[in-house]
Structure 1
């Protein structure tokens, strides 16, 4: 099942604090908000997708703990993008300096910036085109490197600033390039 989109704009336009409170008051629901202010209710992932997302977070987290270059986030974290959308990538990372420049209140609520690195993992309930649009939105708002992982087809779409999307099929590993120095994702742990 895809996300359910609700347009309440003709009735009410939620400001950032109201949207944050809506999310806090309904912890059993996972909300995102697009740049037009429409709310999206996301369905939970299935077991295979959840297992894969955990493995992705674990691999990035181990690298980050060793390098201490930034802060990692899971799919529960909301990022307030420059275009006004609030998105929750499956995996996200920002440099430590960006995190440290945020006030304690900004760190506590939805993070008011776009991650430098994101991963979205296609689940059986997702539409590929929808996730591709989300990846492009991240890039348009400042993400430097993004991976859209389609485990079923063993395919990865790589998004980079100012470059066309690269598609890899049956790749064994993937580099974090200059965004995540020396990070190598071994797909044998993911597929």
Structure 2
């Protein structure tokens, strides 16, 4: 009999205080570089979230996710740039978030200076994917998907391997579309034309 181990949802360590609230974007970038072994994000209120690295199974899934996205990019590179889970973006609301995979249009990316591109670029990707690990909270990630939409994302996917469920978020829709079963494929729609993500590879 095959057994499945469910890890408890782990809440990220939250750091807050006057000094952190006053930290500039450059200071926050330096802080993250000094702690490169941690996964660090920042909320719109400048609360710092510290998360542990993902487990190996999640890392395997994330590699396959980014691999499929890169294969699409290899024939559509003129449309924009793809990014992996190590990439932070400074969003319009002041938060700094790092999706597991993302895409930024060429128009947005090329409008940035080289210095902006080298740090946490002040841009919201048009397309983002969050891949739930065994220790993540689905509710927390669902709230994060709404943050992406509020900041300008045009298509956002939350993938939950444990239940083989995909939640598809689009601007102007009160609820995400739910796709049940990882035998399905997801379409990049008009945001990433031609992309077909095979969910079965993320099992």
TM bracket (short chain): over 0.9
The equivalent of 1:121 in structure 2 is 131
The equivalent of 1:23 in structure 2 is 32
Q: Are residue 91 (structure 1) and residue 101 (structure 2) matched?
A: yes
Q: Which runs of 5+ in 2 are unaligned?
A: 1-9
Within the candidate set 182, 185, 189, 2:194 is matched to: 182
State the TM-score, normalizing by the size of structure 1: 0.96
1:123–1:13 CA distance, 2 compared to 1 (3 A): same
Counterpart Cα distance in 2 of 1:130 and 1:88: 14
Counterpart Cα distance in 1 of 2:16 and 2:72: 40
State the TM-score, normalizing by the size of structure 2: 0.91
Counterpart Cα distance in 1 of 2:67 and 2:128: 14
Contact 1:7 1:38 in 2 (8 A): yes
Shift of 1:42: 1.3
- Pairwise mapping of residues 1-191 of structure 1 onto structure 2 (< 5 A)? 1-9=10-18, 13-68=22-77, 69-163=79-173, 164-171=175-182, 172-191=184-203
Q: What is the CA deviation profile of residues 46-101 of structure 1, one whole-angstrom value per residue up to 9, with x for unaligned ones?
A: 11111111111010011011111111111111100000000000101111121111
Counterpart Cα distance in 1 of 2:179 and 2:13: 30
Figure out how many residues of one structure are paired with residues of the other and give that number. 191
Q: What is the CA deviation profile of residues 11-63 of structure 1, one whole-angstrom value per residue up to 9, with x for unaligned ones?
A: 75211011011111121222100001000001110111111111110100110
The equivalent of 2:5 in structure 1 is none
Instruction: Please provide the CA RMSD for this pair.
Output: 1.2
Q: Which runs of 5+ in 1 are unaligned?
A: none
